[in-house]
Structure 1
Amino acid sequence: MPRDLPDRIHQQRRDLGDRIRALRKGLPATQERLAEMTGIDRRTLQRIERGTSDPKYSDLALLAEALHVTVADLVRW
């Protein structure tokens, strides 16, 4: 069952997804290509970019590496 999260958390997840999407497009790479580069399921990546998923730290680390940034750059508030 999904938990009720404050609106600020939902916004932070959307902001994270927006940053990941912008960095991915700057490569340029498709979601499918980024999924291949990281080993993250494409549907999981879609949910992360939409801000509807709480990514695991290991996924953030893989994404940061593929996008040539630090995890801190991805999750900055």
Structure 2
Amino acid sequence: MPTDPLPDWVPARRRIIGDHIRAARVAAHLTQEEVAGRCGLDRKTVNRIEQAAHSPLLDHLLLIADAIGVPLADLVRE
């Protein structure tokens, strides 16, 4: 079970990942709706991940990376 509350670096890192997802999506000229459709997720979930309001499952990150056409490492790098 994760520490409660989470260390400050965890939400900060989640924000960075969300920023990377958004940047990759925009660079691929895709909307949140298009990415969501390609992943089988809803747009709100993609938005929450990009906004760091939701802690994504690894499966979701893999699906999003595939939908955008980038390696997962590009989305989670520092």
TM-score calculated relative to the size of structure 2? 0.87
Partner of 2:17: 16
Measured against aligned partners, the alpha-carbon deviations of 1:16-74 in whole angstroms (never above 9, x if no partner) come to 00000011111101111111111111111111000111111111111111122222221
Give the SS at the match of 1:40. Answer: coil
Find the aligned partners of 1:64 and 1:76 in 2 and give their Cα distance. Answer: 13
Q: Percent identity?
A: 44
Partner of 1:26: 27
Partner of 1:72: 73
Alignment of 1:2-13 (within 5 A): 3-13=4-14
Partner of 1:58: 59
Runs of 5+ consecutive residues of structure 1 not aligned to the other structure: none
Would you say 1:42 and 2:43 are equivalent positions?
Answer: yes
Runs of 5+ consecutive residues of structure 2 not aligned to the other structure: none
Give the SS at the match of 2:65. Answer: helix
> Alignment RMSD, CA only?
1.1
Find the aligned partners of 1:41 and 1:6 in 2 and give their Cα distance. Answer: 29
List 4+ stretches of structure 1 deviating above 6 A: none
TM-score calculated relative to the size of structure 1? 0.88
